[in-house]
A and B are shown apart, each in its own frame.
Chain A
Amino acid sequence: MRDVAILGIGQTRFGELWDRSFREIGIEAGFQALVDAKLSSVDLGALYLGNMASGSLIAQEHIAPLILDYAGLAGHHFGAIRVEGGGASGALALHEGWLAVASGAHDFVVVGGAEKLTDVPDTEANRVASGTADHEWEVVFGATLPALWAMIARRHMHEYGTTREQLARVAVHAHEMGSKNPNAHYRNRITLDQVLGATPVAEPLGMLDCAPFSDGAAAVVLGPLDRARKFTDTPVRLLASQVSCDTMAVHHRRDMTTLDSTVVAAKRAFAQARRAPADVRVAEVHDAYTISGLVALEDLGFVEKGEAGRAFESGAFGPTGKLTVNSSGGLKAQGRPFGAVGVAQVVEIVRQLRGEAGERQVSGATLGLAHDVGGTGATSVVHLMERVN
């Protein structure tokens, strides 16, 4: 396998983009990435598009050639492939792109992620999101995605003494970071009391423990590292790309407070990259729910099992901490357009490694991690990236 570099990045604003269509946002992100990479479309070998539920959300399947077509590239006749893995669809698409370039099957590929969630009412989006859990044995019995994460939270509180306030801190932090991100769905700061007093969704989780439904798209261009200097002065090496899966239902897990899929993907990624969790300076983790943000920090190896709540409360993951988590605002504040999330996480890490993150730039960022989860953890994807000097 050869070394792979990220040559270009692109991202639309995340939020309720009512005046913009799926194909418009998909194309915007893709062209931004191509322009950023200074790459001609004729050099592309393939497009991988992460998307979770376009069929349910916009009644359109077969979207990868659709985006290719409206990007004006249908005449090149290269392959465009949709990749689906619930909320991890974008990161899975990146994994496929990495495989294609690392194996030598293609030299240059575009990896995109796009989702349009606000063309349907929230109730419909909720129903679609539930589809990433086990429909037959969780959802039919009354489970929703936040309800399943709430049960993970309750068990985590029971076993490790994690408090309601520690959970709420994850959301407060996300909005603080999101306030500095011009692409974020939410740029307002929120207080601990606001999170604690928000409308309950599935106790102990309330409205402000849950990431919003957003529209948005993101894209990256990948190519071989040894040719990267031709296209960019600031190539970022994609050090590791790992996917791991586990049971669909939370009730079938070995330990319901641990995402074994994340543990395994992270271990393999650090082994592949020959790095350790302590080397990571910036990380984008899956904080779709406050509890998932905490559990991720444990499962990725940044803190001991059960310690994430206390570590978060102590400020260990803020902008001046040893590790800065979710500088983009995370899923909670930057937004949650399912299929776009995993790619947007990588876009944020590349910005940080290049030193282009503006007001939210973390000093000395050389190694970054992106962590995306599908459903309640049946799929986890971990990517590690490093600045090339």
Chain B
Amino acid sequence: MSVARFWRETPRRYNLGGCQCPTCETVYFPPRGVCPVCVKHRQSLGRMEPYQLSGEGEVVSYTIVHDAAEGFEMQVPYTLAIVRTVEGPQLTGAVVDIAPSEVKIGLRVRATFRKLREEGAAGVIHYGYKFAPMDDRHKPPKRPSRSERAMASAGAPVAAASGP
């Protein structure tokens, strides 16, 4: 993959920047140029607004991958999940900092900034979101308030982490 192809997505992959339809207020991740929900959806063309996701959500489904995706060979077995964020959008990502056998549907997770993969020994290293269990992982998730969203939009990155 060229550097530019990954680099142009970094605001989304590093910081979960989504978008919101100004008409129906549905939140999307990754950002879309046009709202698929609105009946007159062409009205949203060019009017979608940035929307910062909090990174919190819960596991909708998961798998333990043994036959790795390209670039993930050194990570097997790894847990991959579909996560429903508190703001609504669902996304796919690895679940880390927890034994695969501990992962369950409904597990509360938070996005964390990690190394995803590298393109061989001399290629680009890709970073982005993975998901780690929240400390209060069994409490039902709550949609963030407007003021919390405003704070997040001010540029707080997804929780930083030490390991890959």
Contact A202–B66 (Cβ < 8 Å)? yes
B61→A200 contact, CB < 8 A: no
B interface with A by C-beta (< 8 Å): 6, 9, 13, 30, 60-70, 72, 75, 77-78, 80-82, 90-94, 105, 116-117, 126, 128-130
Given the known interface contacts A126-B67, A147-B80, A203-B63, the answer about A141 and B105 at a Cβ–Cβ threshold of 8 Å is: no
Given A136-B9, A143-B80, A256-B82, A151 contacting B63 (CB threshold 8 A): yes
Docked complex Cα distance between A123 and B78 (Å): 18
Which are the 6 A-B pairs with shortest beta-carbon distances? Answer: A150-B63, A251-B90, A155-B61, A151-B61, A203-B64, A202-B63
Complex: A201 Cα to B128 Cα, angstroms? 24
Flag if B65 contacts A202 (CB, 8 Å). Answer: yes
Count of residues in A whose CB is under 8 Å from the partner chain: 34
Quick check: is A130 within 8 A (CB to CB) of the other chain?
Answer: yes
Total A-B pairs in contact (CB under 8 Å)? 102
A and B contact pairs by CB, cutoff 8 A, 6 listed: A142-B69, A142-B93, A148-B92, A200-B77, A203-B63, A205-B63
Digitize A145-158: 1 where CB-to-B-CB distance is under 8 Å, 0 elsewhere.
01110111011001
A residues bordering B, Cβ < 8 Å?
123, 126-127, 130, 136-144, 146-148, 150-152, 154-155, 158, 199-205, 249-252, 256
Q: How far is the CA of A127 from the CA of B117 in the complex (A)?
A: 15
**C-alpha spacing A141/B75, complex, angstroms:** 12
Given A152-B61, A154-B105, A155-B61, are A141 and B128 also a contact pair (CB < 8 Å)?
A: yes
**Which residue of B30, B70, B82, B91 has the most chain A CB atoms within 10 A of its CB atom?**
B82
- State whether B105 touches A158 (Cβ < 8 A): yes
Contact A147 B61 (CB under 8 A): no
Q: Kindly state the separation between the CA atoms of A137 and B91 in the bound complex, as whole angstroms.
A: 8
Which residue of chain B has the shortest Cβ distance to A149 in the bound complex?
B63
Question: Nearest CB to that of B72 among chain A residues?
Answer: A142
- Residues in A whose Cβ lies below 8 Å from that of B70: 123, 126-127, 130, 139
When the two chains form their complex, are residues A139 and B66 in contact, meaning their CB atoms are under 8 A apart?
A: no
Q: Which residues of B contact A144 (CB under 8 A)?
A: 65, 67-69
Nearest CB of chain A from residue B49's CB, rounded to whole Å: 20
Cross-chain contact A249 with B92 (CB below 8 angstroms): yes
A251 and B92 contacting across the interface, CB-CB below 8 Å: yes
Q: What are the residues of chain A within 8 A of B78 when measuring CB–CB? A: 142
The minimal Cβ–Cβ distance linking A249 to chain B, given in whole angstroms, is: 7
**Docked pose: A151 CA to B67 CA in angstroms:** 14
Collect the chain A residues with CB atoms within 8 Å of residue B90's CB.
251-252
Whether the pair A140, B126 counts as a contact (CB closer than 8 A) is yes
CB distance from A277 to the nearest CB of B (A): 27
- Say whether A147 contacts B63, CB under 8 Å: yes
Q: Which residues of A contact B62 (CB under 8 A)?
A: 151, 154
Contact check, B61 vs A140: say whether CB atoms are below 8 A apart: no
Point out the residues of chain B lying under 8 angstroms from A139, CB to CB: 69-70
